[in-house]
Homo-oligomer: A and B are copies of this chain.
Amino acid sequence: MERVNRHFQEELDALQGRLLEMGGLAEERVRTALQGLVNRDPGMIEGTLAGDEPVNELHLDIDNRCFTLLALHQPMAKDLRAVVACVKINTDLERVGDLAVNIAEAARRYIGHPPVKQLIDIPRMGEIAQGMLRDALDCFVKRDTRLAQHVLEQDDYLDALKTQIFRELLTYMIENPTTVEPALDLILISRHLERIGDHATNVAEDVIFMVEALDVRHLSSTPPQA
């Protein structure tokens, strides 16, 4: 039994290692897409559009590992929560990879037009979303629920920035029709970044559940914003 438990722990460590690898990759893809936008660099943008295979492969591999762990070791309590958390975190990280593609697609259209007032607060939103993602992965590794709580708090800030960006861009679009297309793409990018923040939030909530067996989802009655 001792040998079986050690084997489980090794497999769980390997699984978590793959999940971190995937998180790092997804985050890097978001960063590259945003750098392509800021630097108006078609190469970086096309690189993001073309490179989603490794994330997708990790997604399938991690799902298989979770399934195998559940089937072979039938973990209980804390261990079971850890594996179920990995299933969910895997889904969130895969979506972050997809959102990097969505950002790159909007960025590709955007750089075909004259820039809109230095991208307003998009780079700031990008920094926050990426920071949330890094912190979410970090709190997962360290089982750090205080850091997880910090991720949840950051999400409100990201939502507020998105709303502010929306209003600002709307004004440009109404005043000057030549800004309609690029401003629209910035609005879409701000929403993709907001969703990356949502996925980081999901990861943080899964970590809290995993560590404390405490479900913090749906505790606030604030609905998500459109």
Residues of A whose CB lies within 8 Å of any CB of B are: 49, 52-53, 56-57, 59-60, 63, 66-67, 70-71, 74, 76-77, 80-81, 84, 87-88, 91, 98, 101-106, 170, 173-175, 177, 180-181, 184, 187-188, 191-192, 215, 217-218, 221, 223-226
Q: Contacts A52-B223, A70-B80, A84-B87: A218 and B60 contacting too (C-beta < 8 A)?
A: yes
Q: How far, in angstroms, from A181 to B84 measured CA to CA in the complex? A: 42
Q: Contacts A59-B217, A218-B60: A226 and B84 contacting too (C-beta < 8 A)?
A: no
Q: How far, in angstroms, from A105 to B192 measured CA to CA in the complex? A: 17
Main secondary structure on chain A at its contact with chain B? Answer: helix
Q: Contacts A215-B60, A224-B98: A181 and B177 contacting too (C-beta < 8 A)?
A: no
Number of copies: 2
| 11 A–B pairs (Cβ distance < 8 Å), ordered by A | A56-B217, A70-B80, A71-B80, A74-B74, A91-B91, A104-B226, A105-B225, A170-B181, A173-B184, A188-B226, A191-B191
Q: Which residue of B lies closest to A221 (CB)?
A: B53
Q: In the bound complex, do residue B170 and residue A49 qualify as a contact, i.e. CB atoms below 8 Å apart?
A: no
Q: How far, in angstroms, from A175 to B181 measured CA to CA in the complex? A: 12
Chain B residues with CB below 8 A from A105, complex form: 225-226
Q: In the bound complex, do residue B102 and residue A49 qualify as a contact, i.e. CB atoms below 8 Å apart?
A: no
Q: Which residue of B lies closest to A188 (CB)?
A: B226
Q: In the bound complex, do residue A177 and residue B184 qualify as a contact, i.e. CB atoms below 8 Å apart?
A: no
Q: CB within 8 A of A184: which of B187, B192, B224? A: B187
Q: Which residue of B lies closest to A177 (CB)?
A: B174
